[in-house]
Amino acid sequence: MARHSKWHNIKHRKAAQDAKKWKTYSLHSKLITLAASKWWDPKDNPTLAAAIAKAKSEWVPNDNIDRAIRKWTWEDKSWVQIQEIIYEWYAPGWVAILVSTLTDNKNRTVASIKHIFSRYGWNMWESWAVSWMFKRKWVIVIDSEKYNYDDIEELSLETLVEDITQEDEIIKIITTPEDLLEVTEFFRNKNIDIEDYETDYIPDNIVEVTEFDKALKFKKMYEAFEEDEDVQFVSSNEEISEELDKEVEDFIEKNTFRT
């Protein structure tokens, strides 16, 4: 079984990001600007330090990083306020879904998100209707084809790790925002390559999806959110069997699905 998250099929996701560097650079710049609003010096701001490190790991140019920080030091006259806005709703079957956005234009973003929701037959709910079921964490990703899960699990006992799981071809290490830098540095000092790391919302409960049509609709909806320039990530609590997930992916490859 696999819960939907941005970690699912991570290699495919990374390939898609490479093809859309404009969105990758834009999101990283927004994350850095948002983090810098708390304090502009990464030495005293772990969130900003993590945002900069993440941007560099995905080859965001230093000029883009510096420009994003300057927006909060008033050196950049094109300063605009970046907001993180969470949109949430229940899909049929009481599947809870969160869409995290980073935007400099709330009206544009809410119109786009509402359009995607309504396109698939669902409406947004009020704040906290869904988010109370999720806890915000950082997830560190390690390639399970390169490293043995048991070895990584044993190492995790030596540092500030809250949980560790294996999903498809990846090992997911869960930690808090405050402990992220210490944990990533620990594994790198052990010569363990970190595939990726990003913030995520971890659900308290799971809802199994067994119907093909519903699983297909979820898949296409997630693709629509992936293409939206303001969407940072999507988290949900549905779980789809490997067999059904493969059936959906095979169908998408062979057909053009239209709502």
Classify the C-alpha dihedral 230-232-238-243 as positive or negative.
Answer: positive
Residue 77 falls within a domain, yes or no?
no
Q: What region does 9 belong to: left with phi over 0, alpha with psi -120 to 50, or beta?
A: left
Q: Is 129 helix (H, G, I), strand (E, B) or coil?
A: coil
Residue 142 CA to residue 159 CA, distance in Å, equals: 16
* Pairing outcome for strands 163-167 and 83-91: unpaired
128 with 215, same domain?
Answer: yes
How many domains, in total, are found in the chain?
3
146 with 45, same domain?
Answer: no
89 with 121, same domain?
Answer: yes
pLDDT in tens, the chain (259 residues): 444 455 444 444 555 555 466 677 777 888 888 887 777 677 777 778 888 887 887 778 888 888 777 766 555 545 567 788 888 888 777 888 888 898 888 899 989 988 888 887 666 666 667 888 898 888 899 999 899 999 999 999 999 999 998 877 889 999 988 888 889 889 989 999 988 878 888 888 888 999 999 888 888 888 888 888 888 888 889 888 889 988 998 898 887 655 4
229 with 128, same domain?
Answer: yes
Q: What region does 168 belong to: left with phi over 0, alpha with psi -120 to 50, or beta?
A: left
C-alpha 205, offset from chain centre:
19
Give the CATH number, domain containing residue 221: 3.30.70.980
180 with 224, same domain?
Answer: no
Residue 76 falls within a domain, yes or no?
no
- Residue 87 structural domain: 83-132+206-254
Residue 78 falls within a domain, yes or no?
no
Residue 118 falls within a domain, yes or no?
yes
107 with 141, same domain?
Answer: no
